[in-house]
Amino acid sequence: MLRFLIRRVLGAAVILLVISAVTFFLFYAIPADPARLACGKVCPPETLEQARRNLGIDQPLLVQFVSWLSGIFVGRDYEGLGHCPAPCLGFSFVNKAPVFETIMDRMPVTIALTLGAAVIFLIFGVATGIVAALRQGKPLDKVASVASLIGASVQIYFVGTLAMYLFVYQTQVFSQPKYVPITEDPLGWFNGLLLPWLVLALIFTANYTRITRSTMVENLNEDYVRTARAKGMSGRSVVLRFALRGTLTPVITIFGVDLGTLIGGAIITETTFGLQGIGRLAVRAVDYSDLPTLMATVVLAAGAIVLMNVVVDSLYAVIDPRVRLS
């Protein structure tokens, strides 16, 4: 198990390195001059030259990449801008701050948004999936499948905007979405995120309902489920201890992907609800050609997905002993 984990983590590190390199060369190849942006409106050539030196972009690309990479582990000094402590993901000339600081500033918003919604859609999706599978062909099952079809078809900018209009501006059922740190005001934190959570969950639940239902239907016909019944296990224990166990694997798989994607930046959700998370940061970075920030958000998104993959793979082994031993 330990060897398996070590192998997976090393593999993940290699993938991240490759992604960083590709992204780096891709971004720095585009004809935007960060120094010009950094230097301001009136920019005499010598100031521009100075800015280039300060940012380190007068160096060859490969050298730049190596100093970017080593900055993550040992920090970097920018001439005229100051020290960027490790982990240094670069210095944003737009925000006039180390990128890592900005990311850490925005991260709680995205994580709170993602995890809150994830808890709702995971529990609710799996529960409705189980109920639908047990009521196969009954009205409840049909309602669930129509609802999940609708849920899977609508887009967040539609439902989100509609929900904002109906529940915030028209009826004030929910308060205006905003992010308040949980350490400052837990209730405010909850209220501010409730509507985004629900809207995000509404859209994601559908997928979990469908997958849980279909695997559950399959599993309920498994021989070992019949054996459990034949030995007198109660209906509930047959469903929860035996049939559900086999359903967890596909659910965990998509959950890992969804969670990774959302942590990497729920761009549309954050934009719809005006939350200042990683997604918004990425969009802004594109608008301002803020390459260091953009680079960091891309690597972060990739890192989130790679990390979730390792977590999911480890969870397979927890769920299914056959994976553990082979």
The reply on whether position 232 binds other proteins by CB under 8 A is yes
- Identified binder of other proteins from the candidate list 36, 53, 178, 229, rule CB under 8 A: 229
The reply on whether position 221 binds other proteins by CB under 8 A is no
The reply on whether position 222 binds other proteins by CB under 8 A is yes
- Identified binder of other proteins from the candidate list 71, 116, 129, 246, rule CB under 8 A: 246
In the complex, minimum distance from the CB of residue 210 to other proteins, in angstroms, rounded to a whole number: 23
| Residue spans of alpha helices (H) in the chain | 2-29, 34-39, 45-55, 61-74, 99-134, 139-153, 156-163, 186-220, 223-230, 235-237, 244-263, 267-273, 278-287, 291-319, 321-325
Q: Which is nearer to other proteins, 93 or 242 (CB)?
A: 242
Letter for the amino acid at 132? Answer: A
Residue 302 has a CB neighbour count (10 Å cut-off) of 20
Residue 270 has a CB neighbour count (10 Å cut-off) of 25
The reply on whether position 252 binds other proteins by CB under 8 A is no
What residues between 305 and 324 interact with other proteins by CB under 8 A?
319-322
d(CA 20, CA 25): 9
Q: Which is nearer to other proteins, 7 or 324 (CB)?
A: 324
In the complex, minimum distance from the CB of residue 322 to other proteins, in angstroms, rounded to a whole number: 5
CA atoms within 13 A on the CB side of 46: 0
Site string for other proteins, 170-209 (x = CB under 8 A): ----------------------------------------
The reply on whether position 142 binds other proteins by CB under 8 A is no
> CB of 131 within 8 A of CB of 144?
yes
Query: Do you know the residue count of the chain?
Result: 326
The pair of three-digit structure tokens given for residue 230, joined into one six-digit string: 């034949």
- Identified binder of other proteins from the candidate list 228, 252, 282, 312, rule CB under 8 A: 228
DSSP, collapsed to helix, strand or coil, labels residue 78 as strand
Q: How many residues bind other proteins (CB under 8 A)?
A: 21
The residues, ordered by sequence, that sit 6+ positions from 261 with a Cβ below 8 Å of its Cβ are 301, 304, 305
Q: What is the DSSP letter of 223?
A: H
- Identified binder of other proteins from the candidate list 180, 233, 311, 317, rule CB under 8 A: 233
Applying CB under 8 A, the span of 51-59, 168-176, 185-193, 219-227 interacting with other proteins comes to 219-227
The reply on whether position 227 binds other proteins by CB under 8 A is yes
Q: Which is nearer to other proteins, 111 or 323 (CB)?
A: 323
Residues that bind other proteins (CB under 8 A): 222-224, 226-235, 242, 245-246, 319-322, 325
